[in-house]
Amino acid sequence: MDYNALLSNLKNYLDYLQLVEGDRLFINNDHIKQEFNLLNVSNTNNNISKYNNEIANVKELFHISINEENDLDWKTAKTLQEIYSKIKDCQKCPFGKSRTHFVFGEGNPSAEVMIIGEAPGADEDKIGKPFVGKAGQLLTKIIESINFKRDEVYIANIVKCHPPNNKTPVEDEWKECLPYLIKQIELIKPKIMLLLGAVPFKALLGSFHQITKERGQIFYYNGIPTIPTFHPAYLLRNPAAKKDVWVDVQLLRKIFDEQKNIQ
């Protein structure tokens, strides 16, 4: 993409954004840090749809956001540590008020394997790290059963704060948190992902999915092979399902090894 050409066209592109009077537009990148309060906006252009792709490109390239002042900084973060320091005091959902720790995630920042759970439990809330309780100990065994070390993968959750009474988070509760995980995935760039249970499966791949029917299949999240399987907490209640997870993680290992051989 020709950055200079885009820069010179930025003003034109801004004319095509569908803004209304009173909107606030924030541009925050290495070149421009500016806020615009929009007054007297009249968007009479009839060709907006024609420009949608260009607008999406320019928005991403220039880090343009509309009415999202507080999100500016973490969205442009370049490291996991930087995102963490910018989001750790988040209070966007009700779980923020009652949490002890914001459980960001843990592991190798350049991990090739990313494992995504639902939300921190009480143990994780106390300690501030994902999967440290009984389900976490089982997860460690699962990871080691396919010859990975726990500290070479990256483990995170859809929701970063402990839901009181271990409530399963519903969409309204995870939708504010999901962009944080998406940014973590963008920075880590895993080669393969394992989703633990229905919540990450639905949140990342679509709410119509059903873990019981579709576990153990290969899906693609932004081109990354992604395998949903049962959550280790479910295995603690239903040990008979361990054999299914065994099959699913063997598949993960196989795809991972195949990718390595192709490279």
Task: State the residues that interact with ligand URA by CB under 6 A.
Answer: 117-121, 124, 130-131, 135-136, 157, 233
- Minimum CB separation of residue 198 from ligand URA in Å reads 11
Min CB(52)–ligand URA separation in Å? 37
Q: d(Cα 231, Cα 181) in Å, to the nearest integer?
A: 18
Contact 3, 61 (CB under 8 A): yes
Cα(211)–Cα(202) distance, integer angstroms:
9
In the complex with ligand URA, the residue whose CB is nearer, 126 or 175, is 126
Question: What residues have CB less than 8 Å from 118, skipping those under 6 apart?
Answer: 157, 158, 159, 168, 169, 196, 197, 199, 200, 231
Q: Rank residues 124 and 173 by Cβ distance to ligand URA and give the closer one.
A: 124
Element (H, E) at 126: helix 122-127
Minimum distance from residue 101 beta carbon to ligand URA (Å): 11
Nearer to ligand URA by Cβ, of 119 and 204: the residue is 119
Contact 146, 250 (CB under 8 A): yes
- Structural contact between residues 104 and 85, judged by C-beta atoms closer than 8 angstroms: no
User: How far apart (Å, rounded) are the C-alpha atoms in residues 197 and 159?
Assistant: 13
Q: Which is nearer to ligand URA, 130 or 228 (CB)?
A: 130
| DSSP percent split of the chain into helix, strand, coil, nearest 5 | 50, 15, 35
Q: Toward ligand URA, which CB reaches closer, 27 or 196?
A: 196
CB atoms within 10 A of CB 178: 15
CA 86 – CA 247 distance, rounded (Å) = 39
**Smallest distance, ligand URA to C-beta of residue 174, A:** 12
Phi, psi of 101 (to 5 degrees): -125, 145
Q: Which residue is nearest to ligand URA (CB)?
A: 117
Q: How far is the CB of 228 from ligand URA (least distance, A)?
A: 13
Considering the complex, what minimum distance in angstroms separates the CB of residue 120 from ligand URA? 5
Nearer to ligand URA, 61 or 127 (CB): 127
